Structure 1
């Protein structure tokens, strides 16, 4: 696809021999007359071409009237057929189905576990392996769909370029038809304002039947030519309607290209990044669980060691009181006991003081924590 409109002209051409090789013979520019059709859409060169062409039209020639503008009408018909074929070969519905397929794949992946990604973390065993397996399966399906979408995107971009050519060709035919209508109306006005009155005056003055027939024939030719111009105006109207139709099709193609592009460069990478984040969250959860087990085990060991130390200290104190009969030992023991009691009292006093300090510190920490929580909530 791409050469369908190579044979269509892109420059307006006027000819009295529409089905032969087109040529444009120069002619002197006649005196300007006000055209019946607005010629503001034409360039100065095209206006001069209309004036020159109008001077070549011979309304006494039936073949000229019959073939006038027929070449452009034939090209318009061929052009319309190609344009219709170009539209018929499209299936934008298939692209829509493919885009929907991407959405279904992502949705199925997210809902495979309870409540999407958050539900993945509720199952205890092999969660990361299961997530990677589901990701790989979904990625394969999505990549296959994206390859087809990319092919459609390339084709649509080619179609958009072809539609630009179609629009340019249609504009050329529109101008050609406008120039034919302008030239025809110029010639028709000229004949009806000059030649036809002259023939009528001649017939009336001479009274010859051949002069009357000549005037009648020219008047009939003018009527036929007027109908021919009307047919060209109808074809011109079709050309006007074709332009927005081409742009509508082109707009649909452009919209689908944008949707495909958004899916490929936005939706798919976003899904992949979310999957990476989900895997990272799962790794962090497992690390936190391991750290929690280590902390619990450490606290348990500390409690057990403290209990053993207490029991050992009590047993040692009991053993130290057994079988002592030496007074010096008793003195020493008594002094040691008093010293111990003093130290215990001192320790208790220090402990009480530290507990009070700790209580004040905990109250301060609690206040700071509450203040920080209020800041977070705000």
Structure 2
């Protein structure tokens, strides 16, 4: 709620106390009409002045008898009619309900951005970001400000209505008392007609010559008709006075309702709305704190993960590096294997050489053998051809 509205609401507290302190007077001697014979001098004078308004020869004066008392009341009623009929009680109640609806629409659960999304949110792919909710809170604040402005206007309107109803009540009560004077004046006039004027007129008719009795009798009938009209008019005034008496508590009831609503509006503006704003601000602040704590927790978790991971990596790396540092240029096993392979190679070479030498020696022997066999075969073949042989020139020389 804006500071301006808060100041105006606090200033209105005095006006609320003022209208609540007003005590409206009660009608005196409800239902009693003081007759002229029982009235004191001032009241008797008022009754006589109203009796003078009646002209038994003028029907309009009888029909309009007592209407002057209602003129001022009608002016006040007509001035208030539109305001009273379309009074801002309804809109004021709507404004209060709007505040409640606005606050109920503020769901703190939506602050949690890590909450499980509803099936509808999953269906439409909508998340619940904190920034979006903060914007919604700002909208709620704006709605509260607008509604409080409306409530303040309704409150001033109702205060004006209450004061107007005070005036209406006073004028209605005055009209109620005025009707008692007119009723007393009418009843007194009827008494005069029944006891004095009509009997005198009847006597006058009887004393009138026969040729003039028709006109005199007509005047008597007119007088009696006017008397009956006055009686009906007095009866209507009595009914009007009864209805007026019933309207007095109705006006007070409307006033009490207005006063209650004004008190409620003022309490809402001064006490409830600031409390709601405080609670909403706390809700947002608490959630922000929770978000900050979650961020710190995530940072700490990440730090712990990094420390653990780095320590493990350092251990593995250090082990590998130290192992490589402690190794020679050549592993002894590799040297032993290479030496064994070299020895095996040399031995195999010597073995192959010995085998080759033995094969060559055997081949040499075989060659000599084959050569001797060849010489012998050739010698035998030549001897068969000559029969004697030529030892000197055909023999194969020994190798």
The count of residues paired between Structure 1 and Structure 2 equals 257
Equivalents in 2 of 1:284, 1:45: separation in Å?
83
1:48 aligns with 2:44: yes
Deviation at 1:160, TM superposition (A): 1.2
Equivalents in 2 of 1:162, 1:275: separation in Å?
39
Instruction: Pick closer, same or farther for the CA change 1:131–1:226 going to 2, 3 Å.
Output: same
The DSSP-based 3-state class of the residue aligned with 1:147 is: helix
Match of 2:269 in 1: 264
Deviation at 1:144, TM superposition (A): 1.7
Match of 2:350 in 1: none
| Alignment partner of 1:248 out of 242, 253, 257 | 253
Match of 1:230 in 2: 235
The DSSP-based 3-state class of the residue aligned with 2:110 is: coil
Equivalents in 2 of 1:43, 1:134: separation in Å?
73
Paired residues for 1:1-378 under 5 Å: 38-39=33-34, 47-53=43-49, 56=52, 59-62=55-58, 63-113=60-110, 135-204=137-206, 209=213, 212-213=217-218, 215-275=220-280, 277-278=282-283
Equivalents in 1 of 2:95, 2:80: separation in Å?
26
Instruction: Pick closer, same or farther for the CA change 1:152–1:205 going to 2, 3 Å.
Output: same
Instruction: Pick closer, same or farther for the CA change 1:58–1:141 going to 2, 3 Å.
Output: closer
Q: Could you tell me the TM-score, scaled by structure 2's length?
A: 0.51
Q: Which runs of 5+ in 1 are unaligned?
A: 1-35, 298-378
The DSSP-based 3-state class of the residue aligned with 1:109 is: coil
Instruction: Pick closer, same or farther for the CA change 1:147–1:266 going to 2, 3 Å.
Output: same
Equivalents in 2 of 1:287, 1:44: separation in Å?
88
The answer as to whether partners of 1:59 and 1:65 remain within 8 angstroms in 2 is: yes
Deviation at 1:158, TM superposition (A): 0.9
The answer as to whether partners of 1:200 and 1:215 remain within 8 angstroms in 2 is: yes
The answer as to whether partners of 1:59 and 1:221 remain within 8 angstroms in 2 is: no
Deviation at 1:270, TM superposition (A): 1.6
Give the structure with higher Rg (CA): 2
Deviation at 1:128, TM superposition (A): 9.3
Instruction: Pick closer, same or farther for the CA change 1:111–1:203 going to 2, 3 Å.
Output: same
